[in-house]
Structure 1
Amino acid sequence: MSPMQGEPTRCSPGCRTTSSPLSATRRRCRRCPRAAPIFWSSNSCPFQMIRHKDNVYATQFHPEADGAVFEQRIRIYKDHGYFDPADAARLIADCHAQSVTMPERILRRFVERYR
C-alpha cells in the first residue's frame, strides 16, 4: 500500500497508511472523479478507498475479510478461472500470513459514525 493521498477520512483517523487490505478485485476502477479524495492507493489498485461528497465511500477491498474469509473464497472460486487452481494452497497460506487490522478498524469507525 502506498501512503494515502488527499485528506484523512473521518472513518480512518489514526490508521496507518501503509496497512494492506486483502483484495480480490479483478476488475478495478481505472479513473477516479477529480472531486473524490483518494484515501488508499496501491500499485495493483490505484483507488482502494475514495469518498464522494460528504458521506459516500467506496472501497475496492474487503474490510470485513480476514484470512479465514479469503480461504473460503479461494476454495469456492478455485475452479472458476480466477487463478490457477494449483496455486490455491499457496494463496490460502499467503492470506493467513497477513496481519490485516486497519480495514476492520475503518469498518468499525464507519459503523460508529453512521449508525
Structure 2
Amino acid sequence: MPDPAVIRADSTKPFLLLSTRGEDVAAHAEHLSFAGTAGIAPAKLHQIRLEKGLPSALSLDDYSGIIVGGGPFNSSDEIKSGLQKRVESWFDDVLAEVLDRDFPFLGACYGVGLLGMAGSGSVSRRHGEEADVITIKKTAEGTVDPILEGLPTTFHGIVGHKEAIDQLPADATLLATGDNCPVQMFRIGANAYATQFHPELDADTFAQRLRIYSNQGYYQPGSDSAAVEAARRLDVKRSGQILRNFARIHVARRV
C-alpha cells in the first residue's frame, strides 16, 4: 500500500485524470474510483472532462502522472463525431509528448487504444469482451514489472470493451494477457502503461457503471447480474494494486 501521508501531502504534485464520459454520474464516480483505489486524495487527482472542452495548454510538469479512464469513443469507430475527432487529435499531441519524455501514464480500457495507436500499433474489434470478470495472466516481463508488484501470476479483473489491440507497437512490452483478449496490459518505454481491464472498479462501482451504460452494447440484456455476482465472488479489487503501485512510484514533489 502507498503511504497516504506522501500522496496527500501538500508538497506533492497532483495526478491528472483525463475523462471522456458525458454522463455526470459516471464521470464523478470514475474520479472517486480512481482516487480511492490508487490511494490518492480526490483533491490531488485533478479531473479534466474532455467532452466539455479541450485545454488550450497542458503542462505535464504540473503533474506526477496522467491517468485515462474508459469512455464512449473507440479508435475503430467507422463514423466519428466532430467531438471524437477533436479529442483524438488532442490526445495525439499529448501522447506524443508522453512517449517522447517517458512521462508516467496509465490508461485503462480507452487508454489501450490511445497508447497503442500513439505507439504505431493497431486496434480492431476481433478481441472485444462483454462486461464480465476474467482471469488475467502476467507474462514473464509482467512478473518483474514494478507496477504489477504484489499481484499473483494470475488475478481477476473487470472488462467490457468493443475493441482491443490487434497488433502491439513494435517497442511495446506485453505484461499481461487473457484467454479471449491476448493483450490485457502493456508498457511502452519505462513509464507508459495501458490496461484493457478496469483496475479502478470493484463490484459496487461495476454494478453502477453497468446500469449507466445498460443500452450501449457492452453486455447482453440480463447478463449484468451474473457479471456483478462474479465480481463479488472473485477478488477483483486485487487488480487495484496496479493503481496503488503507479501512484506510489510516481508521486512527485514540487520543486
Same fold? TM cut 0.5:
yes
CA distance in 1, matches of 2:218, 2:242: 27
Superposed displacement of residue 14, structure 1: 3.2
Residue in 2 that maps onto 1:88: 224
1 or 2, which has the higher strand percentage?
2
Report Cα offsets for 1:32-83 as digits up to 9, x if no partner.
1232111110112211111101111111111110111110111112222222
Q: 1:82 to 1:94 in 2, by over 3 A?
A: same
Which letter maps to 1:12? L
CA distance in 2, matches of 1:3, 1:52: 16
CA distance in 2, matches of 1:26, 1:59: 14
CA distance in 2, matches of 1:15, 1:86: 32
Aligned residues: 115
Residue in 2 that maps onto 1:104: 240
Query: Could you tell me whether the CA contact under 8 Å between 2:176 and 2:184 is conserved in 1?
Result: yes
Q: Structure 1: which 5+ residue stretches go unaligned?
A: none
Structure of greater Rg: 2
Residue range with higher mean Cα deviation, 1-10 or 28-37 = 1-10
Give the structure, 1 or 2, with the largest relative contact order (CA under 8 Å, sep 6 or more).
1
Q: Structure 2: which 5+ residue stretches go unaligned?
A: 1-135
The within-5 A match list for 1:1-115 is: 1-6=136-141, 8-115=144-251
After superposition, the CA RMSD in angstroms is: 1.7
Superposed displacement of residue 25, structure 1: 1.9
Superposed displacement of residue 114, structure 1: 0.7
Which letter maps to 2:141? G
Which runs of 4 or more aligned residues in structure 1 lie more than 6 Å from their structure 2 counterparts after TM superposition? none
Identical pairs, percent: 30
